[in-house]
Amino acid sequence: MTRIPRIVRYTILTLGGLIFLFPFYFMIITSVSPPGSTGSLVPPSLDFSTWTFIFAELPISWNLLNSVVYTLGVVAITLAIGSITGYALARLSFRGRDTLFAVILFTLALPFQLLMVPLFIMVSDWGWARPGPETYLALIFPMAVNATAIIIFRQFFRGLPQELFDAAYLDGAGNLRILWKIAIPLTRPAFLIATLITFIGPWNDFLWGLLVVRDTYWQPLSVAVGILGSGAHATAGGGNYWGTVTAASTLLAVPVIVLFVAFQRYFVRGVIEDGIKG
Q: Which stretch binds other proteins (CB under 8 A): 46-54, 57-65, 113-121, 181-189?
A: 113-121
Q: Are 94 and 88 in contact (CB under 8 A)?
A: yes
Query: Could you give the C-alpha distances from 81 to 70, 144, 175, in angstroms and in order?
Result: 17, 9, 16
Question: Which of the stretches 49-57, 68-76, 129-137, 256-264 binds other proteins when contact is defined by CB under 8 A?
Answer: 256-264
**Is residue 117 a contact point for other proteins (CB under 8 A)?**
yes
Contact status, residue 70 vs residue 136, Cβ threshold 8 Å: yes
CA 142 to CA 213: how far, in whole Å? 14
Distance of closest approach, residue 76 Cβ to other proteins, in angstroms:
13
Q: Which pairs with CB-CB distance under 8 Å and at least 24 residues apart come from 255-260?
A: 255/203, 256/199, 256/200, 256/203, 256/204, 259/196, 259/199, 260/196
Q: Which is nearer to other proteins, 5 or 185 (CB)?
A: 5
Site for other proteins in 1-20 (CB under 8 A): 1-5, 8-9, 12-13, 16-17, 19-20
Q: Which residues from 29-58 bind other proteins, rule CB under 8 A?
A: 30, 39, 41
Given 60, 70, 142, 198, the residue binding other proteins (CB under 8 A): 142
Which residues in 170-189 contact other proteins (CB under 8 A)?
174-175
**Selected range binding other proteins among 54-62, 183-191, 232-240, 269-277, rule: CB under 8 A:** 269-277
Which candidate, 152, 157, 145, 147, places its Cα nearest to that of 78? 145
